[in-house]
Homo-oligomer: A and B are copies of this chain.
Amino acid sequence: MKSNKIPEATVMRMSIYSRFLFQLMERQVQTVSSNEIGKGVGVSSAQVRKDLAYFGEFGTRGVGYRVKDLYGHIMNILGLGRSWNVVIIGAGKLGAALSLYKGFIDRGFKICAILDNNKELIGNRLLNIEVESIDTLNEKVSTQKISIGIITVPAVEAQNVTNALVESGVKAILNFSPTILRVPNNVILRNVDLSVHLEVLSFNLTYNSK
């Protein structure tokens, strides 16, 4: 499978489809059509079929998709057939919230460590994990086989934290700080900018689009 030819938008929708399918499973639904999936998640049926076609043929013409099978396929495609170990750097409010975020845990992301350099926060307990010093990063990553780092520190510290994460051997970084980070190109970086979304709303409200 050549993942670099697959649109990122497609991957994001796959994630959404899988959650919709999970809901159907809970309701014991056996079969679903691309049209129903599309209605359920807010895209066209053609889009659903095109997205799935990147990865194979999962349906039956005239019938639709078996919910359970399709769910399984998508979870495997997304690499969620296993669990991922994660470290969060930054034990402020956002880091704390994310460490307890059910959406992560439910989908196989295990928060193994929460690190910070602020002595006031070190020692705090979040659920069953204790906030520890950022000095323990290398040890945590290697002993716990952590492959993903989440950055929730202030912008000014973000690049330093990134460098430390890269050096520790983490393979992917999810950055919540509003900064452009530099990473070597064997490390995958994604940015989530919370302010941007509110500002898009502000823009739309101002020019009352639609």
Which chain A residues numbered 1 to 60 have a C-beta less than 8 Å away from chain B? Answer: 1, 3-4, 8, 11-12, 14-16, 19, 40-42
- B40, B98, B209: the one contacting A194 at CB < 8 Å is B98
Q: Once the chains bind, are B195 and A201 in contact (CB under 8 Å)?
A: no
A174 surroundings in chain B (CB, below 8 A)? 197-198, 201
Q: Once the chains bind, are B199 and A15 in contact (CB under 8 Å)?
A: yes
From A63-71, A77-85, A116-124, A132-140, the one touching the partner chain is A77-85
* Chain B: minimal CB distance from A19 (Å): 6
> What is the total number of copies of this protein in its complex?
2
- B80, B93, B197, B205: the one contacting A147 at CB < 8 Å is B205
Q: Once the chains bind, are A195 and B103 in contact (CB under 8 Å)?
A: yes
User: How far does the alpha carbon of A192 sit from the alpha carbon of B1 in the complex, in Å?
Assistant: 28
A79 surroundings in chain B (CB, below 8 A)? 202-203, 205-207
A145 at the interface (CB under 8 A from B): no
A-B contact pairs, 27 of them (CB 8 A): A3-B203, A3-B206, A15-B193, A15-B199, A16-B193, A16-B196, A19-B178, A77-B203, A79-B205, A79-B207, A84-B205, A93-B96, A93-B97, A93-B101, A94-B97, A103-B178, A103-B194, A103-B195, A104-B194, A107-B198, A148-B205, A174-B198, A188-B201, A188-B204, A188-B210, A190-B197, A190-B200
